[in-house]
Structure 1
Amino acid sequence: MSINLKSLIPVFDAEWIGSNTDVFIDHISIDSRSLQNGSKTLFIALSGSNNDAHLYIEELIEKGVQNFAVQYIPESVKGKANFLVVKNTLNALQQFASYYRDLFDFPIIGLTGSNGKTIVKEWLNFLLSPDYNIIRSPKSYNSQVGVPLSVIAINEKHNLGIFEAGISTVNEMEKLEKIIKPNIGVLTSIGSAHDEGFENLEQKIKEKLLLFKNTNVIIYQKNELVDKCLADFSAENPIPDRTFFSWSFKDNSADVFILKKETKNELTIIQYQYEDKASDLEIPFNDSASVENAISCLLVLLYFKYDSKTIQNRVQMLYPVQMRLEVKNGINNCSIIDDSYSSDFQSLKIALDFLESQQKKNATKTVILSDIFQSGFSNEELYSKVSQLVSANKINRVIGIGPTISSFKDKFSNCIAFQDTASFIEAFESLNFSNETILIKGARSFQFEEIVSLLEEKTHETVLEINLDSISHNLNYYKSKLADDVKIMVMVKAFGYGNGGLEIAKLLEHHKVDYLGVAFADEGISLKNGGIKLPIMVLNPESTSFPSIIQYKLEPEIYSLKGLNAFLKIAKEKNLKDFPIHIKMDTGMHRLGFEENTIDELIQTLKNNSSVRVQSILSHLATSDDPKHFGFVEKQIGLFEKLSSKLMSELNINPIRHILNTSGISNFPNAQYNMVRLGIGLYGVSNDSSEQKYLENVGTLKSIISQIRTIPSGDSVGYGRRFMAEKETKIATIPIGYADGISRLWGNEIGFVTIKNQKANIVGSVCMDMLMVDVSNINCKEGDSVIIFGESPTVIEMAEALKTIPYEIMTSISQRVKRVFFR
């Protein structure tokens, strides 16, 4: 890409404000964190209800970015850069992508549906890549922002595109169609995802079909409703010679009719009829979703005129698609970013940005990279671009694996190269991995999972998976409830409610929350040592921790005269001036805080004291989640208003005020004051069932089946023989127990786990390191995955059964359980 910036004025319908008219751009960015931003970047400042990229323009200019598409020019940067001023920057991004797409003329496959889009896209890329130079959506970039970013990655060497489009409501697909402009349409499985955005299933299908307004062929699974929608769609969007290419298990009028389907071990064997010829196809999966996705791919191959032998040879090599970047603990204090299943130029850019967001403070950044395929560039041009990316991201060392990258290792400043993965493994001990953040990025053929296994910290096979995207979603949900000028403090105490403090704090810092809250000083110190720069409030500081709080520039909550005087004494000894403190009022919780009868003495103590500054005044609601006691909450808020106003008036100060917790944000919007404190809601748990449906699950506790045995009627399981089999019973043992945080009360058929999407009741007592479940009716084997909690059972279900609260379930998960973070 090399485009004259001024030529984009009519594309954006923009007003030009700038001095340098002779500028060429080669990169579009919407991410202010990206180290790939530079002098030839056009930064498009997206502005939404929860984030405004215009706030980052000044720091981007300081980093060398000079060209911006904006909705307004902040006062502080006027005259300092080139600006294309538009009405709506998201529309501008989409308009540019549509303009850029028109510069190329080759077949584009457009995919939409409720489920399977990303899987089908990745499989089609694999199946067609021997014959085409393919550009495809990276990861699952299928949104109003993701689609234009995907299309902008096209270059002159590509000759086939595969892009997916996802929508959540009406009037979205038409915008994506104008960007993708597919010639070939594939409609994948239609399910219940995002149902809430549509009146009914028919409306959803019709909206999705709008992606195919100008396609020559539409590939789909035949059924009565889809056929009806296609008929209506064709009448409204007629195209000469458009064809519908259908498949079915049941309707023999389909173009491809599945005559037989047989499951055999891990395989599915189908016989399909096409053009009066029956052919067999072996699909290396036995679940129905994968089989249907493979059949969608089959129809594309048939449309492209591949013969049955070639189809069989390629389809039998299909593989499970990992759709996320995972962060794992590594050996010798390393962090591992596992992206070991794909190697293309566009996803490398995404992975490098993710590496930057996850890097440990002062840690070396290392990239282990295989040969890159399907870039559309010559090798010389490709590895020059890769080297520029690596340099921009300040990677300390590159380990190249593969014959091609090895021949270009001189393009990297600090590169060790190996011809293959086996050579790397042989030299592993000599590479001395320690205190590094390591991105492992490789094509499947290089089997980089072996490298991940070598570098990964060896712990037991129980993990707590943390979905960072879900945290972002939940944060934005609660932000949407706040007035524009209200700040937000997020609680990351108790190891981020059991989910992992530092990693979540990094994400919150990216989202520019205003404060982090921890319970004790050592939690705050750990975050500061991890590189967190956000202000951190310590809610329960002990007087012995005051020197450390001052040293690490934490901010203490002060809740008693004794604590205040102790802090003031140290502050004076250290000659502090205006050190921020937070004054806690007791308005009825009766846990910590200044009561009304101590306010006068508090005021006298603080008057004319320059050592500290009252940064905020706060209190805590006792019953904000219980409608029966909302009257008490109103009294608390009234008392807080009275006491805080008195403190402000007497001291002539205007600090931040905050009283609302998670449920308070939802139930008492008129008491937002200057800031709110978000806690358990960030982690996907609400006390309100009507609100719960808008939150996404964050933590999924997983394990595996260690062993399966069948016991006869009359035999017992576990300590105390608390389970007695009434009939022949198949028992699976799971390596997780009360030492990992699973309550013993959850045993003895009160609780359950999920295996193969089916409930398996816990039988007998939960042991220290193991529990046993009844899998008599589940087709499972040793090594299969087990969900301890997540979508089912939820922590809310567990808490109700155990007569406790979700907080206790989440924070009880032991530190010996490995946390895996992913997007």
Structure 2
Amino acid sequence: MEYTISAAARILGANAVGAGDYAFSELSVDSRRLSFPDSTLFFAIETGTNDGHKYVNDAYRMGVRCFVVSHDIPGMERLSDAVFLRVPDTLSALQRLAAYHRDRFRFPVVGITGSNGKSVVKEFLYHLLCGKYNIIRSPKSYNSQIGVPLSVWNMDASYNLAVFEAGISMPGEMERLERIVRPDIGVLTNIGAAHQENFLSMKEKALEKLKLFRDSSFIVYCADDKVADEAVRSVALTARKVTWSMENHDATVFVSGITKKEFSTSFIIKYDGREGRCEIPFTDDASLADVLHCICTAYCLDPSLLDGMLPFSTLEPVAMRLEVKQGRNGTLIINDTYNSDINSLAIALDFLSGRKGGSGCKTTLILSDILQSGCPSDILYRQVAGIVEAKSVDNIIGVGPELSSHSDFFGIGKAFYRSTEELLADFRASDFSGRLVLIKGSRSFHFERITERLEQKAHETVMEVSLGAIVHNFNRYKSRLRPDTKMICMVKASAYGAGAVEVSRTLQEHRCDALAVAVADEGVELRNEGISIPIMVMNPEMNCLNLLYDHALEPEIYSFRLLDAFIREGKSRGAVSFPIHIKIDTGMHRLGFAPEDVPALCALLKGQETVKVKSVFSHLAGSDTPSLDDFTMLQISRFKEAAETIERSAGCRVLKHILNSAGIERFPEYQMDMVRLGIGLYGISMCGDTGLRNVSTLKTTILQIRDVRAGDSIGYGRKTFVDRDSRIAVIPIGYADGLDRHLGNRAARVSVNGRLAQIVGNICMDACMIDVTGINAEEGDTVVIFGDDLPVSRLSEAIGTIPYEILTSPSQRVQRIYLND
């Protein structure tokens, strides 16, 4: 839907600077994610961690000519054919424009909020109702102050129902979102502990969430949720309360007769004097609650929807996040079947571009027909072809009759098949060798069969790595710093076990200033995978100096011997001002120059031009331990004196840094020019920061369950005897997978279906045993070794070690699966 820049100026009350009344139909806040730049209005958003004004020139180079800014930018006068709308607050302007756009439509809007389950309820609603409505919904989890307006902007006249998420993390946010969404039907999923740190109580958070429903006609919630029910009853909402309950017969929908089978749950709903029986393909309570929220929402739209059978039996688990897996023959698989619409396609293609980086890998998109778009197929697939071309995809494989009939729209390498079966009959995994492959399909096409053909490893023990959590933690630490303070992120030891390449790509995409690895080989791998930002090598060895120069890897220099050798190597290459980082030993006594060595070091550096000191740094020995604060202050004092001496000798500014993760949390006043973020990036605070998100989840499955009689022993050496009749499960993870043998014999517990189970017996090379007595566990169930609800610190404490060791232990035969929120 097009607007002109003059119309936008009127809506926003902005002054337009520049010539031309351009038309735009797209909004963007990210210069890296532009599908149609010549029809995009770019908002330069300022956040706690970044400023979009820095990227206006990048967006201009990509073809954008329409901008919303809050202040002038350097070189603005050179962008003579661009138009700038000047506003006091660019985020408020984005929200105001989206609110204006929302007001143009009269079809029903469903707004979903709550602590958990928003995205699942949204996707379940879409599945249940897409046969009866043309539905526009939030892409992925676009529920923030920026995500909501971008979601609402996608509304147009081809739809007759909208479903949007709205999430908050602090007071005052929901009022702004309410003005944008203005839901006719409000859904409150639940009130839990998520984002509690900025609220005084659960009730305060519930009341804040309820502001989304200020002018709604209906509000859907569970009457058995006491916090939600009390909050709703305490405010003067005009909305009709549409509730479900398993306890209160007066609820709009009363639920009874719940019967759980091996793979499904059946139940009876009673409403308006009627009764219906439903069966869903889930056995967990959370999925049942999500479905019941959907039933109440359908009731609000039209009670007769419940008279016929909505397609409950075909609901599938919602893959909340895009997955990245290693495939055969060097293939990287990006699996995204969470959404299948044009907006989520653009998001997935942006992710594909970020993974490609400067690696030079060819890209292939495997795409199915886009179902229930509400858009004429000619228009839809011309848009798809335009996005695919704009994202520089090398090849497309289209599956489905609609895509096949529009194959002429695609001017790249292509092949089209009318069905998944037809593609599989012609499929050879070797055709994708060394490629980045994005698999994007509607669920009815069952593209998991394609993924299975391409996957490299079938081992059921995997490490899931949340790239969204990496970004969250990165931004959380960044928000503690001054805007001009730089940050180095530690990706040594394969990014603390998470996998350095994918983590580094994510950090580079989010404009991390530099990365740090331990040895040169780690840096070479990153360069070969297209990582172009500065990389510091913390422990360079004498036999790798050539690699440092060949791959532009910046060494930590910790001794005269290393410095002399590195200068000699550089002179032989004609190097000038190659960046190095000087390490000062202020008391850790690991690597580094002693403070008394600094005068001689300065003299040596002055007498040459081969290298140039980029930074001076030291490492705190006890920044996470309050009892060592006096020693920390001594280290900082020693460091400042040495660093200032080196900077004076150099005659130019030298970056200074001493803070690690714990230092950032406890001593932000000493952030200097730069900080180094390590364990905190991976979700572990040594100082109790509860706002970090877990990054890595190690999980496996139950291979077999057997009954063991009281008095029998378990495992090698008969180290564990059971004192009661027990159910013992075998799981395929052992010390060859990185599970420490000391965790056996009841030293530690794992999680099975939300219950803790002890590891019993000696841990074997490839397997171990757990006691699932009294736990509802079956063969094939998932077992979590550590993750969101079972912190890695519990395992480390059980055997007297540190979380670092547990995180870095999983071996390479444990496949890393990357999830992107």
TM tier relative to shorter chain: over 0.9
Q: How much does 1:451 deviate?
A: 0.9
Letter in 1 for 2:127: F
Q: How much does 1:231 deviate?
A: 4.2
1:646-661 correspondence runs (5 A): 646-661=645-660
What is the match of residue 496 of structure 2? 497
Distance of 2:49 and 2:251 partners within structure 1: 47
User: Which range moves more in the overlay, 11-20 or 731-740?
Assistant: 11-20
What is the match of residue 214 of structure 1? 215
Letter in 2 for 1:337: I
Distance of 2:747 and 2:564 partners within structure 1: 51
Distance of 1:495 and 1:517 partners within structure 2: 11
Q: Is 1:754 equivalent to 2:751 in the alignment?
A: yes
Q: Is 1:575 equivalent to 2:574 in the alignment?
A: yes
CA contact (8 A) 2:738 2:809 kept: yes
The one-character-per-residue Cα deviations of 1:474-512 (angstroms, maximum 9, x if unpaired) are 111211222222211111111111111111111111222
SS in 2 for 1:616: strand
1:778-793 correspondence runs (5 A): 778-793=775-790
The one-character-per-residue Cα deviations of 1:587-628 (angstroms, maximum 9, x if unpaired) are 111111111332232222111311111111111111222222
Q: Is 1:385 equivalent to 2:383 in the alignment?
A: yes
Q: How much does 1:671 deviate?
A: 2.1
Alignment: residue pair count: 815
What is the match of residue 263 of structure 1? 260
C-alpha spacing 1:272/1:430, structure 2 compared with 1 (3 Å): closer
CA contact (8 A) 1:17 1:83 kept: yes
SS in 2 for 1:271: strand
SS in 2 for 1:328: strand
Letter in 2 for 1:34: R
Distance of 1:505 and 1:756 partners within structure 2: 33
User: Which range moves more in the overlay, 223-232 or 659-668?
Assistant: 223-232
The one-character-per-residue Cα deviations of 1:369-427 (angstroms, maximum 9, x if unpaired) are 11002323200000000000000000111111111111001111222111111111111
What is the match of residue 269 of structure 2? 272
Letter in 2 for 1:498: G
The one-character-per-residue Cα deviations of 1:417-465 (angstroms, maximum 9, x if unpaired) are 1111111111102871111111111111101111111111124111111
CA contact (8 A) 1:57 1:77 kept: no
TM-score normalised per structure 2: 0.96
CA contact (8 A) 1:104 1:156 kept: yes
What is the match of residue 152 of structure 2? 151
Q: Is 1:687 equivalent to 2:680 in the alignment?
A: no
Letter in 2 for 1:107: P
Distance of 1:340 and 1:543 partners within structure 2: 48
Letter in 1 for 2:585: D
- Structure 1: stretches of 5+ with no match in the other structure: none
Q: How much does 1:815 deviate?
A: 1.6
Q: How much does 1:259 deviate?
A: 3.8
SS in 2 for 1:142: coil
What is the match of residue 8 of structure 1? 8
Distance of 1:765 and 1:77 partners within structure 2: 68
Q: Is 1:203 equivalent to 2:204 in the alignment?
A: yes
SS in 2 for 1:84: strand
C-alpha spacing 1:70/1:573, structure 2 compared with 1 (3 Å): same
Letter in 2 for 1:12: L
Letter in 1 for 2:76: V
Distance of 2:339 and 2:392 partners within structure 1: 22
Q: Which of 401, 404, 408 is the matching residue for 2:402?
A: 404
CA contact (8 A) 1:151 1:179 kept: yes
Q: How much does 1:536 deviate?
A: 0.9
Distance of 1:227 and 1:536 partners within structure 2: 53
Q: How much does 1:191 deviate?
A: 2.5
Distance of 2:346 and 2:598 partners within structure 1: 56
Q: How much does 1:73 deviate?
A: 2.3
Q: How much does 1:196 deviate?
A: 2.8
Q: How much does 1:48 deviate?
A: 0.6
Q: Is 1:772 equivalent to 2:773 in the alignment?
A: no
C-alpha spacing 1:612/1:158, structure 2 compared with 1 (3 Å): same
Distance of 2:157 and 2:274 partners within structure 1: 39
CA contact (8 A) 2:463 2:814 kept: yes
What is the match of residue 235 of structure 2? 233
C-alpha spacing 1:227/1:541, structure 2 compared with 1 (3 Å): closer
1:411-560 correspondence runs (5 A): 411-413=409-411, 414-429=413-428, 432-560=431-559
Letter in 1 for 2:374: G
Distance of 1:308 and 1:84 partners within structure 2: 46
C-alpha spacing 1:25/1:496, structure 2 compared with 1 (3 Å): same
Q: How much does 1:726 deviate?
A: 1.7
Distance of 1:158 and 1:228 partners within structure 2: 35
Q: Is 1:728 equivalent to 2:729 in the alignment?
A: no
C-alpha spacing 1:815/1:112, structure 2 compared with 1 (3 Å): same
CA contact (8 A) 1:399 1:417 kept: yes
Letter in 1 for 2:796: A
Distance of 1:651 and 1:192 partners within structure 2: 52
SS in 2 for 1:39: helix
Q: How much does 1:74 deviate?
A: 1.0
What is the match of residue 332 of structure 1? 329
CA contact (8 A) 1:29 1:37 kept: no
C-alpha spacing 1:196/1:573, structure 2 compared with 1 (3 Å): closer
SS in 1 for 2:522: helix
CA contact (8 A) 1:751 1:798 kept: yes
Letter in 2 for 1:672: Q
Letter in 2 for 1:13: G
Q: How much does 1:257 deviate?
A: 1.9
What is the match of residue 318 of structure 1? 315
SS in 2 for 1:337: strand
CA contact (8 A) 2:129 2:310 kept: no
Q: Is 1:253 equivalent to 2:250 in the alignment?
A: yes
C-alpha spacing 1:596/1:259, structure 2 compared with 1 (3 Å): closer
Q: How much does 1:37 deviate?
A: 4.4
Distance of 1:666 and 1:189 partners within structure 2: 32
Distance of 1:311 and 1:356 partners within structure 2: 44
Distance of 1:90 and 1:145 partners within structure 2: 7
Q: How much does 1:790 deviate?
A: 1.4
What is the match of residue 46 of structure 2? 47
SS in 2 for 1:75: coil
CA contact (8 A) 1:341 1:448 kept: no
SS in 2 for 1:490: strand
What is the match of residue 90 of structure 1? 91
Distance of 1:282 and 1:527 partners within structure 2: 49
CA contact (8 A) 1:543 1:566 kept: yes
What is the match of residue 584 of structure 1? 583
CA contact (8 A) 2:331 2:432 kept: yes
Q: Which of 685, 689, 693 is the matching residue for 1:696?
A: 693
Q: How much does 1:341 deviate?
A: 4.3
What is the match of residue 62 of structure 1? 61
CA contact (8 A) 1:331 1:456 kept: yes
